[in-house]
């Protein structure tokens, strides 16, 4: 971690301008991922654009049949916001399980979605709920947003402003945490919503994905038993010192079952 410039713009326009001017600059929101990356020299931006001074990125609103959450909203706020707790309680519960107290009070939903860590929680919810990602220049459906490991559809210099979650009829979440890092080994978010049934899986593969076989089964029969015998193929799943691909495949089934039970 060495010399870099630091900017703290107070408007979205200024932030976008700073990013446009310096292709090696990076936005920083909670810094929970970016700062360790700098310390490990995985990332050496010329400038950090601190988004914490921008009012447009904050706030949680109900807009019609959706909950819209600003990019700078912290995990703790998602976990405790009365509107979210009423409309999408599973999302609030999910946020309450992210990392630890410190991480939840620094880390932001925008940072998490933009970062698209394979083991991050939110992407599974965004996929299952059919969320829309809002940037400074367009709106991107969740299905198109999460492209691959640590990769999204956003272009260089593009800034995530917020995310809009359609309010589901019911939704549930279950995950197995890595006992040390607390990151998801595999988590499954299930939702029965206006756009149909969604099943989003995190932690299992290089990028969060939808489990469409389970979606079909749940659309026909919303019950834990409906997914209990659906086996996720292990090829393409992660295999590491915490668990093999086969083990994660098993987790997809078990967590899906538990998520449906959680949704009720």
Ligand X SMILES: Cc1cc2nc3c(=O)[nH]c(=O)nc-3n(C[C@H](O)[C@H](O)[C@H](O)COP(=O)(O)OP(=O)(O)OC[C@H]3O[C@@H](n4cnc5c(N)ncnc54)[C@H](O)[C@@H]3O)c2cc1C
Q: Least distance in Å: CB of 88 to ligand X? A: 16
Per-residue mark of binding to other proteins, 39-78 (x: CB under 8 A): --x-------------------------------------
Which of other proteins, ligand X, none does residue 251 bind to, with CB < 5 to 8 Å depending on kind? Answer: other proteins
Extract the runs of DSSP E, i.e. beta strands, from 156-231: 160-166, 170-177, 184-193, 196-202, 209-210
Whole-angstrom Cα distance, residue 167 to residue 129?
8
**Residue placing its CB nearer to other proteins in the complex, 17 or 177:** 177
Stretch that binds other proteins, among 105-113, 118-126, 164-172, 242-250 (CB under 8 A): 242-250
**Residue placing its CB nearer to ligand X in the complex, 99 or 130:** 99
Ordered strands of the 184-193 beta sheet = 170-177, 184-193, 196-202, 209-210
The DSSP symbol for 242 reads T
What's the N-to-C CA distance of the chain in angstroms? 47
What are the φ and ψ backbone dihedral angles of 97, each rounded to 5 degrees? -100, 5
**Residue placing its CB nearer to ligand X in the complex, 30 or 193:** 30
Which of other proteins, ligand X, none does residue 130 bind to, with CB < 5 to 8 Å depending on kind? Answer: none
**Residue placing its CB nearer to other proteins in the complex, 183 or 209:** 183
Which of ligand X, other proteins, none does residue 226 bind to, with CB < 5 to 8 Å depending on kind? Answer: none
Per-residue mark of binding to other proteins, 78-117 (x: CB under 8 A): ----------------------------------------
Which of ligand X, other proteins, none does residue 12 bind to, with CB < 5 to 8 Å depending on kind? Answer: none
The answer for 184, left when phi > 0, alpha when psi is -120 to 50, beta otherwise, is: beta
Compute the C-alpha angle 59/64/70, nearest 5°: 20
Interface contacts to ligand X, rule CB under 6 A: 26-34, 51, 71, 75, 98-99, 103, 107-108, 110-112, 114-115, 120-121, 159-160, 182-183
The DSSP symbol for 231 reads P
**Residue placing its CB nearer to ligand X in the complex, 173 or 183:** 183
The answer to whether 129 and 198 are in contact (CB under 8 A) is yes
Which tokens belong to 168?
Answer: 């589901």
Residues of span 123-182 touching other proteins by CB under 8 A? 176, 179-181
Which of ligand X, other proteins, none does residue 254 bind to, with CB < 5 to 8 Å depending on kind? Answer: other proteins
What are the φ and ψ backbone dihedral angles of 6, each rounded to 5 degrees? -130, 125
The answer to whether 67 and 81 are in contact (CB under 8 A) is no
Determine, following the binding rule CB under 8 A, whether residue 250 of this chain makes contact with other proteins.
yes
- Residue of closest CB approach to ligand X: 111
Whole-angstrom Cα distance, residue 144 to residue 198?
15
Which of other proteins, ligand X, none does residue 243 bind to, with CB < 5 to 8 Å depending on kind? Answer: other proteins
Residue 259 parent element (H or E): helix 245-263
């Amino acid at each position: 971690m060495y010399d870099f410039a630091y900017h703290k713009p107070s408007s979205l326009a200024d932030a976008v301008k700073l990013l446009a001017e310096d292709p090696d600059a990076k936005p920083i929101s909670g810094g929970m991922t970016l700062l360790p990356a700098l310390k490990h020299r995985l990332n050496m931006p010329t400038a950090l654009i601190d988004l914490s001074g921008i009012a447009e990125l904050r706030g949680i609103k109900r807009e019609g049949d959706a909950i819209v959450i600003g990019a700078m909203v912290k995990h703790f706020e998602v976990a405790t916001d009365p509107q979210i707790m009423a409309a999408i309680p599973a999302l609030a519960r999910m946020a309450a399980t992210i990392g630890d107290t410190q991480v939840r009070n620094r880390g932001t939903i925008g940072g998490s979605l933009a970062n698209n860590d394979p083991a991050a929680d939110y992407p599974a919810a965004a996929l299952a709920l059919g969320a829309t990602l809002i940037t400074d220049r367009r709106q991107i459906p969740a299905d198109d947003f999460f492209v691959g490991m640590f990769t999204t559809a956003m272009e260089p210099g593009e800034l995530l402003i917020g995310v809009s979650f359609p309010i589901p009829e019911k939704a549930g979440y279950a995950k197995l945490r890595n006992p040390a890092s607390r990151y998801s080994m595999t988590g499954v978010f299930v939702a029965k919503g206006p756009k149909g049934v969604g099943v989003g899986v995190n932690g299992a593969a290089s990028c969060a994905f939808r489990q469409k076989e389970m979606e079909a089964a749940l659309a026909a029969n919303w019950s834990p038993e409906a997914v209990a015998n659906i086996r996720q193929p292990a090829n393409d799943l992660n295999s590491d010192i915490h668990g093999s691909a086969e083990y994660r495949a098993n987790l997809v089934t078990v967590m899906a079952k538990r998520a449906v039970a959680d949704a009720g």
